[in-house]
Structure 1
Amino acid sequence: MDMQKALVKNLLAYAVRREIPAEQLCSLAGLSISALQSKNPLVITPKQLNDLWLNACHLSNDPLFGLHLGESMQASALGMVGLIIQHSSTVGEALTQAASFTHLITDLFGMQVTQHKTGFTIQFIPYKDGTQEHSFAFQQMMDLFMAYTLHEMDGLVLQLIQPKQVKLPFNSDHEAEYQRVLRCTALRKSKEYVIEFDKQHWNTPVLTANYELQSMLLQKVGAVDDTFGNIPNLRTRLSSYLLANAYLGIPSLEDLAANFNTSARTLQRKLQEEGITYQQLAESVRKSLALHYLESGTYPIKEISYILGYNELSAFTRAFKRWTGSSPVNYLKN
């Protein structure tokens, strides 16, 4: 799989969700959508990549477009997770494998994983002989990789992992948003790009079933869409986003709004203009997922309850009865 092309396609798909026409972005960057959609190899020049990032940030009015893209991407979006889990049984092994694939996606920096007494670090190191370290694309790609790597770890173990500290030369105007996306209040301004984790996560088992769950969701919603067609309504865009990332739970309205670079109030108002609230949308997604999981016959009811964010099986059963008029057990029988 051409991982650099996959990255650009994910960038365009996210831009479309942000109401930016993919055709316009490609035109401004001198890229061809038909070439991106074809199965033939495609060379994307540094200037094209830089122009793509510049215009994505400009048209979305979001200087942290790369950070938000990394937050929104599914762990399997770049085609690496399947390769990683074939050779990994723990998070530590998976990250070590992931580091060896970095060069297939970007020539701007490498990834180094180091274990120490109290934990382990992931460091993104600019290539010394590179001339693009201060390019616009470099900063956006670095933000994307830091957020995506954290998201990738979540997907491998099906839980939200919190770093001990993060080092990066962040803009102080955006410190709070970096803290939110990277789930770390211990943000240190530094010339290095480092995420540090507690040692307990190093040997956390990687479960193949989690990747299968992600793959099933991606097939259901077509998360990495090759068509970049017309921009759907907000309800459809948000539903697709929630479904594709549902293996990590349904986010709060505030977190979802931040990912789309808007306020919770504005997002709720726009949804209400389409005749629905965020709470109703989230319930609709949970119902769709519950039915999908049950009908797949792969997951026990208790596990489905946990995946959907219910602390108690009884709470999930009550919600399911409200949606369908039947309990999960009776639904399966019928």
Structure 2
Amino acid sequence: MPTVAAGLVRDVLNFAVSEGADRDTLIAAVELDGAPLENQDARLPAAKFIGVLRAASKMLGKPDFSLNYGKASRFDDFSIVGLISYGANTLGEGFEQMNRYAKLVLDTGVAKGRQRFQLQEDGDCVWVIDQRPNPNMTPELTETVFARFIGDFGRYFEGERPYRAFHVTHEKPTHWQAYEDLFQVPVTFGAKWNALKAHKSWLELTTGPKNRYAFGVLSDHADALMRELEASETLRGQVEKTLLPMLHKGDVTMEKVAETMGTSRPTLYRKLKAEGINFETLLDDLRRTMAVSYLAGGKASVNEVAYLVGFSETSSFSRAFKRWTGKAPSEWRG
């Protein structure tokens, strides 16, 4: 399953405490007792980061908590990727570095060979598109990452306003006005993508003098971390990452997964068996995990969750959910 750097979890936890949340209560709510938060490069389940965002929002009574955190956080404070990105010659080059090492911060399950962020030209502007799978499951991630773009840019280039529009795929939330106040551009909810539009000149801006030696040292360390992260990924994790973007299609077969992974069905079957894994059981477990996460987030209806995890009939999903948890989906939502 997707993972996150412990430094990011520590950063959002510290921000929540600075806003008035009780640290011990938050740690208990997200089950972070004993987590290696002081080791910035340690890996934790991505659900821990989402859990802190949601628990802090509820505890503080601030539905716009994720936006506020994103704007206030400094990418170069909690991650080596931030240091490398802002150590590049231009913001365009920094963007390339961020994409190169994005999974060191938060591995969102983007398929192998696909970048987390894509740049798409639109006249004299460019769209920065977040390509993570199933974005509506975690609109908090959309809020934090794009709010951080705004916050970090404002710290380096006070007074500059290269942005033209902001689109998100989730529906209009109760705190929609916070979007307008933060981005100060037209915001479209329920859009086809999660993307920020900016003038192309944004990519040519530079953050000041660079220390190329330090940049090289940081890049070498990041490369080592990437190799370590990729080596630690089990076959199960690779299959789950491949399944996530196709889960909603329902008819997910081992043949399709094998083809996407660049292997054959017999080879994938043999390798999974060697790890003691049955494909159907893995798929069922992933559907359960995602369904529970969707419902806990409170952002999707039962019908929508059924679709997102690959069920064409809500009744079939309800029976499966009862088998998984002993409760009906409506009871789980509480």
Shorter-chain TM-score range: 0.5 to 0.7
Equivalent positions of 1:257-268 (< 5 A) are none
Q: Which amino acid aligns with 1:165?
A: A
Counterpart among 114, 126, 129 of residue 123 in structure 1: 129
Q: Is the 8 A contact 2:118 2:131 kept in 1?
A: yes
SS of residue in 2 equivalent to 1:197: strand
Kindly report the root-mean-square deviation, in angstroms, between the aligned alpha carbons of the 2 structures.
2.7
Q: Aligned pair in 2 of structure 1 residues 159, 93: CA closer, same or farther (>3 Å)?
A: farther
Cα distance, 1:98 vs. partner?
A: 1.8
Equivalent positions of 1:72-221 (< 5 A) are 72-79=72-79, 80-86=81-87, 88-108=88-108, 110-127=116-133, 133-135=135-137, 138-168=138-168, 169-184=170-185, 186-189=186-189, 190-208=191-209
SS of residue in 2 equivalent to 1:208: coil
Cα distance, 1:69 vs. partner?
A: 0.2
SS of residue in 1 equivalent to 2:174: helix
SS of residue in 1 equivalent to 2:120: strand
Q: Is the 8 A contact 2:5 2:40 kept in 1?
A: no
For 1:40 and 1:93, locate their aligned partners in 2 and report how far apart those are by CA, in whole Å: 24
Q: Is the 8 A contact 1:66 1:143 kept in 2?
A: yes
SS of residue in 1 equivalent to 2:175: helix
Q: Is the 8 A contact 1:66 1:144 kept in 2?
A: yes
Residues 150-198 of structure 1, C-alpha deviations (whole Å, 9 max, x = no match): 22333444554341001013525322210111222x1122131000001
Identity across matched positions, percent: 13
Q: Which amino acid aligns with 1:104?
A: L
Q: Which amino acid aligns with 1:202?
A: L
Q: Aligned pair in 2 of structure 1 residues 162, 33: CA closer, same or farther (>3 Å)?
A: farther
Q: Aligned pair in 2 of structure 1 residues 121, 142: CA closer, same or farther (>3 Å)?
A: same
SS of residue in 2 equivalent to 1:202: helix
Residues 10-43 of structure 1, C-alpha deviations (whole Å, 9 max, x = no match): 1111111111111211111111266312x38643
> What is the match of residue 17 of structure 2?
16
Residues 121-174 of structure 1, C-alpha deviations (whole Å, 9 max, x = no match): 2111123xxxx6443xx2112210010022233344455434100101352532
> What is the match of residue 325 of structure 1?
none
Q: Aligned pair in 2 of structure 1 residues 56, 139: CA closer, same or farther (>3 Å)?
A: same
Q: Number of residue pairs matched?
A: 200
SS of residue in 1 equivalent to 2:78: coil
Residues 32-84 of structure 1, C-alpha deviations (whole Å, 9 max, x = no match): 266312x3864322443343232111101112211110011124223333212
SS of residue in 2 equivalent to 1:126: coil
For 2:199 and 2:76, locate their aligned partners in 1 and report how far apart those are by CA, in whole Å: 24
Length-normalised TM-score, structure 2:
0.53
For 1:142 and 1:22, locate their aligned partners in 2 and report how far apart those are by CA, in whole Å: 24
SS of residue in 2 equivalent to 1:62: coil
Q: Aligned pair in 2 of structure 1 residues 134, 75: CA closer, same or farther (>3 Å)?
A: closer
Q: Which amino acid aligns with 1:173?
A: T
Q: Which amino acid aligns with 2:166?
A: V
Residues 196-247 of structure 1, C-alpha deviations (whole Å, 9 max, x = no match): 00123222233138xxxxxxxxxxxxxxxxxxxxxxxxxxxxxxxxxxxxxx
Q: Is the 8 A contact 1:71 1:148 kept in 2?
A: yes
> What is the match of residue 247 of structure 1?
none
For 1:54 and 1:133, locate their aligned partners in 2 and report how far apart those are by CA, in whole Å: 16
- Per mean C-alpha deviation after superposition, the further-off stretch among 94-103 and 188-197 is 94-103
